[in-house]
Structure 1
């Protein structure tokens, strides 16, 4: 392997990559303002590093649960991009972003495909590389907007609840499933990813462990077991220093255990 991952960025004492905030970069690009308010979008510096590491210009990149559409930056690097999204709200944001992208760089015309639908019904789609950050079980299973809380005086939680309700209307949204049903659904998606990839193609998964009942759940271990069973082989594994969003900061201020790293796991479909 000749490429180095995110070589231009520093590492901390654990060897985790330290990507800077992408707020300024996102504002400079083509994304609608509403995208900047979303709490769980992928860091664009990380996204670009992933694209550079696994792919080459002219190749096809796919995100099966694409949310706000961070992978669109791949078109600026000469990659063809396919985004699948189940939620109409996110799909509309992606349409706005694609329109802006074409205005910023007309050479990206015909390089982006947006599909509004459940990836479990749309895949397989032949592509060279797949990269995504899977949703979490139960993360969007919210019924109402909560009121202002003492531990979040800036109304952050109220705004996050509003966004969750707005962008999780589909009953088939993976984030609404129980842990058991979510696991079954994700196994199916990883299998469809395997079927979509050309031999030698890669699957890049960005995933963060969770804290439940004071215990750390190593989600990456489950992902690794499932992907190996399907037939993927290991390609690379990195971590980046991800101190989290406002939810994590609130927990940290309360003295609770937090997860401060995020896994970047890359598998390959054998040749």
Structure 2
């Protein structure tokens, strides 16, 4: 007697593919970044975005990234056969995202002709107005990675800043005072960030998942548990379902605090899974 076929209401994966994604940690070493998207100082990989989108949605559904950067989530959605929308504060990154999406459409050909993949230049603080003005349909999945507070301004980021400045790349998201990455007060940053995600609730289908990729932050000799604080506060709006750890094993080690104090090389991110219940 053949086994009963899986009644899969969440995605289009096989049982074997489903099981593989269930591991609570993963190592993802992406291919080299394209020239245009290198301008962004903290981009997450399109290949990673595609894996999450293919687990949490089915073909033809709608994906939103409210802090789209150079369009990683939208590229992942296109490759997966999903509609996608992204909101980006920085006009330069928004334009790069549009150009990268146009190139990806050309590469995919007729397979992507029916898919919407739209980048909107705007402030995520105003998401409800943006969603209504642009006719964004009910959202089936949210995938995003916010600024890790003002980490790009921290002393520990000096080496990376010098390296990027040498080749003419951005070292901060922007100089815009509305940019969350420029807020110096941790409590205010966290409040605004949670407010943005909470404002999405009326526009999400029941059962929609939200994946937020984030990291705890070291600053001034102490750790600010951004991932844990976000999980706790946003867990009052949505149900915190789980976490996956994205581990990076291809980063060079630096001798922080050598001979005097414990300072880790932090090569993991928290992929927090919330559900609209």
Which TM-score tier does this pair reach, normalised by the shorter chain? Answer: 0.7 to 0.9
- Counterpart in 2 of 1:105? 108
Kindly tell me: are residues 7 and 170 of structure 1, through their superposed partners in 2, closer, same or farther at Cα, counting changes over 3 Å? same
Please say which of residues 118-127 and 69-78 is displaced more in the overlay. Answer: 118-127
- Counterpart in 1 of 2:20? 7
| 1:157-176 to 2 correspondences below 5 Å | 157-159=164-166, 162-164=169-171, 167-176=173-182
Please give the root-mean-square deviation of Cα atoms over the aligned residues, in Å.
Answer: 3.2
Task: Please give the secondary structure, in 2, of the residue aligned with 1:238.
Answer: strand
Among 218, 226, 233, the alignment partner of 1:226 is: 233
Kindly tell me: are residues 41 and 229 of structure 1, through their superposed partners in 2, closer, same or farther at Cα, counting changes over 3 Å? same
Instruction: Establish whether residue 119 from structure 1 lines up as the match of residue 124 from structure 2.
Output: yes
Following superposition, the deviation at residue 3 of structure 1 comes to 7.8
Q: Work out the CA distance in 1 between the residues paired with 2:141 and 2:21.
A: 23
Note the residue ranges of structure 1 that are not aligned, 5 or more in a row.
Answer: 27-31, 143-148
Structure 1 residues 221-260: Cα deviation after superposition (integer angstroms, max 9, x where no partner): 1111111212x113331112135867xx446596732222
Q: Work out the CA distance in 2 between the residues paired with 1:173 and 1:114.
A: 17
- Counterpart in 2 of 1:52? 54
- Counterpart in 2 of 1:146? none
Contact 1:17–1:239 (8 Å) recurs in 2? yes
Please say which of residues 111-120 and 177-186 is displaced more in the overlay. Answer: 177-186
Following superposition, the deviation at residue 39 of structure 1 comes to 3.7
Following superposition, the deviation at residue 5 of structure 1 comes to 6.1
Please say which of residues 37-46 and 81-90 is displaced more in the overlay. Answer: 37-46
Kindly tell me: are residues 141 and 213 of structure 1, through their superposed partners in 2, closer, same or farther at Cα, counting changes over 3 Å? closer
Kindly tell me: are residues 182 and 52 of structure 1, through their superposed partners in 2, closer, same or farther at Cα, counting changes over 3 Å? same
Kindly tell me: are residues 5 and 207 of structure 1, through their superposed partners in 2, closer, same or farther at Cα, counting changes over 3 Å? farther
Q: Work out the CA distance in 2 between the residues paired with 1:217 and 1:194.
A: 27
Structure 1 residues 104-157: Cα deviation after superposition (integer angstroms, max 9, x where no partner): 123323421111000111337431110101112224569xxxxxx8x67x9515
- Counterpart in 2 of 1:258? 265
What is the TM-score when the length of structure 1 is the normalising length? 0.79
Contact 1:211–1:257 (8 Å) recurs in 2? no
Aligned pairs, how many?
248
